[in-house]
Amino acid sequence: MRAFMGLDFGTEQVPDATTLLHFRHLLEKHELGEKLLASQNEIFEEQGWIMRGGSIVDATIIAAPSSTKNATGTRDSEMHQTKKGNQWYFQMLAHIGTDAGTGYVHSVSVTSANVHDLDETVNLIRDDDEVVYADAGYQGVEKRPEVAGDEHLSGVEFRVAARKGKLAAMAEPDRQAESRKASVRAKVEHPFLVVKRDFGFTKTRYRGLAKNLNHMQVLFASANWLMRARAVALMG
C-alpha cells in the first residue's frame, strides 16, 4: 500500500481499516461508483473508443456470504437462495450492458438471484441503441410490457439467441446467422472474466444490494480501463 500510494516507509503511515471503511461509506453515500462509471464512459466516447447504436446484455452470478454469525443472526435479506443442478447457492446477480462494437461496459445493475434477467433488460439499454444482443434466456423480451409500451424500446431490434433445441433443427443459413450473433454476444463475457479472474471477485463481502452496486460499478469501470490498456498494448 505504501509503495502504491508513494508514501515514505519511515515516516508516513497507511490509513487504518476504520479510515478506509469511512471512505468507502462516503463513496456509497454519494453514489460515486455510478458517477465514476459514467465519467469513464464519457472519456471513452470522447476518444472514439465506443461505437454506440448497439448493446449486449447479460448477467452473472456472484456468491454471497451465507453465514448467520453476525449481530442479527440472519443471512442477508437482499440476497436469495437458488438451485443450480442439484446444488443450492446463496447469491446475487450482476447485470451489465456492453457496447456491441467494443465490449466496454456502459450500464450495471445488481439484483437478488431470484430476479429474472428479463426484469433488468430495460435498465441496461442506452437511449440511442437500435440493436440489442442477448442469450436464449432473454427470449420474449420484446413482448414485455415495459418494452412494448415504450416508444424507443419497442423499435429496438432484439437479436436473441435461439434455444439449443431449435438450433439443431435450423437450416444452414439460419445456423450461420446464429453463429454470427454468438460472435457478437461473446464480447459481454470479457468484462465478467476480468472481474472474476483478474480481480478475483467471485464472492461479495458486503451485505445489501446498494453497497454491492457501488462496488460492481467501480469494478466494471476498472475492467474497462484494463481492457482498453490491453487493447492499446496489442496495437503497439
DSSP alpha helices (H): ranges in the chain? 2-5, 17-29, 32-46, 145-148, 164-167, 172-185, 189-193, 209-235
Rounded to an integer, what distance in angstroms lies between the CA atom of residue 189 and that of residue 195?
A: 10
For residue 51, tell me if it sits in a domain: yes
- Is there a domain that residue 16 lies in? no
pLDDT digits (tens, 9 = 90+) for 107-136: 999 999 889 999 999 999 999 999 999 999
**Mean pLDDT over each residue of the chain, to the nearest integer:** 91
Angle between helices 32-46 and 209-235 (to 10 degrees): 20
> Grid coordinates standing for 78?
437482499
pLDDT digit string, tens, across residues 136-166? 999 999 999 999 999 999 999 999 999 888 8
How many Cβ atoms sit within 10 Å of the Cβ of residue 168?
9
Judge whether 14 lies within some domain: no
Cell numbers 454471497 correspond to 64
Residue 28 lies in a domain: no
Q: Which residues contact 113 (CB under 8 A, 6 or more apart)?
A: 61, 79, 80, 81, 82, 89, 90, 91, 92, 93
Domain hosting residue 74, numbered range: 33-235
The answer to the question of residue 12 being in a domain is: no
Tally of domains within the chain? 1
42 HSE (CA, 13 A, CB side)? 6
Q: Is residue 116 part of a domain?
A: yes
Question: For 3-53, how does the pLDDT look when each residue is reduced to its tens digit (9 = 90+)?
Answer: 777 777 777 777 788 988 898 899 999 999 999 999 999 999 999 999 989
Within a domain: 210: yes
Q: Give, to the nearest 10 degrees, the angle between helix 209-235 and helix 17-29.
A: 90
pTM of the complete model = 0.89
79 belongs to a structural domain: yes
